[in-house]
């Protein structure tokens, strides 16, 4: 990595454009205040400035991105923009296939996918004029055990708010990029919380929609019955803009829902007066209760909902979040092994330890345990869905603590295993991680909201209203801040 002074010298005068939200950048492009190519160069400047410290990317295609941005420039000049994402630079997790740009899943294992395939979500974003910059860092194959062993070819992504700390996983680079401005928005995948957990760790918005709402065609599978792509963005408005473009039925995905999509943007700012919010209280007992800063963020959220006109009531999930995870794990491990068995048998020696250990467990899992978990899951989906007949939105933690130091192995594993992301991965309900300020140590805080099936519009309406209280001016980690934490770590 270049030294700090060299990196600092690369920050160009216009790099502050990389701090813009999708919504603000879109407004400026539409008004002619900036051109898409200017925005792209600002993002590329950010990459040059800080990516040696945060490792958000595995590969960047500057030539292709510049070509796309120039095409957006021409449309902007003639007032023929394709929509609000036209000219907005984005990047995708490296388990999402992109035609003409290698997809490796962050692995040394040779990949067999067709390099001409574009994931449906990528095709939809490019058809809307968004500018693909590159492929983002990830846990190998977008999965693992929660541990970070520093044994992959690329170094793990670092948290832009403090590079000595963990980003959450598995969409590590997807969160780091948005938090640092090396992408204006990104797309990750969520199997057990892998969009929401890194979003929480890095202080941004992460949306896991209803299972089947966003096509998985062209996405490397991890766990067939859980995998869900989702946007990571600076604000709820940004996430809504992205969701409205990429959601919808896709005949290429057999799990895709054909239920009509209700656009989120027209309803986003209508307020939440009269909504009923369920404040989840049966969190995990024992030695892993949420930290005081997380509990304070939840209390502030409940109070804000009350002031905004919603009715806040205490509710219990059918079981504690950790118990959902216990049911999810046999399903996750068995399905992952069934998908990756051939790679495991042929290339196990090339895999990193975290992926290898997960597949080891999947190989020896009993069919009886997998089937028992499926039966438990079916009953639990119905019991969880009954809650949404009583309340419109649930409020609960996403994580129980702030992001730990990345080299504290036990803390990293505990952070992942102790999150509250599993319930809605197991059931398929939509859920969202929302920034809730910062801890006294300067690390991001987050809360989680969830809603009923196919109710993303209501979920994001509630999230936008709460965001106006918790983080009305969302911000990215500026290069100078990132570099100062590098200095502290190296010192």
Q: Report the catalytic residues.
A: 93, 170, 194
Helices 120-127 and 236-246 pack at an angle, to 10 degrees, of 110
User: How many CB atoms lie under 10 A from the CB of residue 263?
Assistant: 13
Q: Six-digit token pair at 233?
A: 């963005």
User: How many CB atoms lie under 10 A from the CB of residue 373?
Assistant: 22
Q: Give the H/E segment covering residue 437.
A: strand 431-438
Return phi, psi of residue 220, to 5°.
-60, 125
CB 481 within 8 A of CB 161: yes
Burial 457-467 (b: 16+ CB within 10 A, else e): bbbbbbbbbbb
Q: Six-digit token pair at 137?
A: 């860092």
Q: Six-digit token pair at 159?
A: 């948290």
| CA dist., res. 199 & res. 143, Å (int) | 16
Nearest Cα neighbor of 67 from 103, 108, 101, 115 is: 101
How many residues belong to the chain? 491
| CA dist., res. 432 & res. 199, Å (int) | 9
Nearest Cα neighbor of 428 from 239, 258, 209 is: 209
Within a 13 Å sphere around the CA of 451, how many CA atoms are in the beta-carbon half?
A: 21
Nearest Cα neighbor of 91 from 129, 130, 127, 55 is: 130
| CA dist., res. 169 & res. 329, Å (int) | 16
| CA dist., res. 177 & res. 304, Å (int) | 29
Contacts of 5 (CB under 8 A, 6+ apart): none
Q: How far is CA 103 from the centre of its chain?
A: 18
DSSP state for residue 412 in the 8-state scheme: H
CB 135 within 8 A of CB 61: no
Residue with tokens 């945060």: 54
| CA dist., res. 205 & res. 171, Å (int) | 13
Return phi, psi of residue 451, to 5°.
-145, 180
């Amino acid at each position: 990595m270049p030294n700090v002074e060299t990196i600092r010298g690369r920050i160009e005068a216009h790099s502050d454009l990389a701090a813009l939200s999708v919504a603000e950048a879109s407004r400026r492009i539409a008004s002619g205040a900036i051109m898409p190519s200017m925005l792209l160069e600002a993002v590329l400047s950010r990459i040059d400035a800080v990516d040696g410290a945060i490792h958000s990317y595995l590969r960047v295609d500057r030539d292709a991105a510049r070509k796309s941005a120039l095409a957006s420039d021409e449309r902007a000049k003639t007032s023929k923009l394709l929509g609000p994402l036209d000219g907005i630079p984005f990047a995708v997790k490296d388990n999402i296939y992109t035609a003409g740009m290698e997809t490796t899943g962050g692995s040394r294992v040779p990949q067999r996918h067709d390099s001409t395939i574009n994931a449906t979500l990528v095709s939809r974003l490019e058809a809307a004029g968004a500018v693909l910059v590159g492929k983002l860092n990830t846990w190998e194959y977008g999965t693992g055990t929660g541990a970070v062993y520093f044994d992959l070819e690329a170094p793990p992504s670092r948290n832009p708010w403090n590079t000595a700390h963990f980003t959450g996983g598995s969409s590590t680079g997807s969160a780091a990029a948005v938090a640092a401005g090396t992408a204006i928005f990104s797309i990750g995948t969520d199997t057990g919380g892998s969009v929401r957990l890194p979003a929480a760790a890095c202080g941004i918005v992460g949306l896991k929609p209803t299972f089947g709402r966003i096509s998985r065609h062209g996405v490397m599978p991890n766990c067939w019955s859980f995998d869900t792509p989702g946007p990571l963005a600076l604000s709820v408005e940004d996430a809504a803009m992205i969701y409205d473009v990429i959601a919808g039925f896709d005949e290429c995905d057999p799990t895709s829902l054909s239920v009509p999509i209700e656009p989120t943007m027209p309803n986003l700012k209508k307020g939440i007066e009269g909504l009923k919010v369920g404040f989840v209280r049966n969190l995990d007992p024992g030695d892993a209760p949420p930290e005081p800063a997380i509990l304070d963020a939840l209390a502030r959220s409940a109070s804000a909902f009350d002031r905004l006109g919603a009715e806040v009531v205490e509710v219990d999930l059918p079981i504690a979040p950790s118990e959902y995870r216990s049911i999810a794990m046999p399903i996750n491990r068995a399905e992952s092994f069934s998908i990756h068995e051939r790679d495991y048998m042929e290339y196990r020696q090339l895999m990193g330890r975290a992926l290898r250990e997960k597949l080891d467990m999947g190989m020896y899992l009993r069919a009886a345990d997998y089937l028992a978990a499926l039966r438990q899951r079916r009953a639990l989906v119905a019991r969880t869905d009954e809650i949404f007949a009583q309340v419109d939105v649930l409020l609960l933690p996403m994580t129980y603590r702030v992001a730990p130091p990345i080299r504290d192995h036990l803390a990293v594993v505990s952070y992942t295993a102790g999150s509250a992301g599993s319930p809605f991965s197991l059931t398929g309900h939509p859920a969202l991680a929302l920034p809730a300020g910062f801890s006294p140590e300067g690390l991001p805080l987050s809360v989680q909201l969830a809603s009923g099936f196919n109710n993303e519009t209501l979920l994001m309406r509630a999230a936008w209203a709460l965001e106006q209280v918790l983080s009305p001016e969302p911000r990215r980690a500026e290069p100078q801040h990132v570099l100062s934490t590098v200095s502290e770590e190296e010192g």
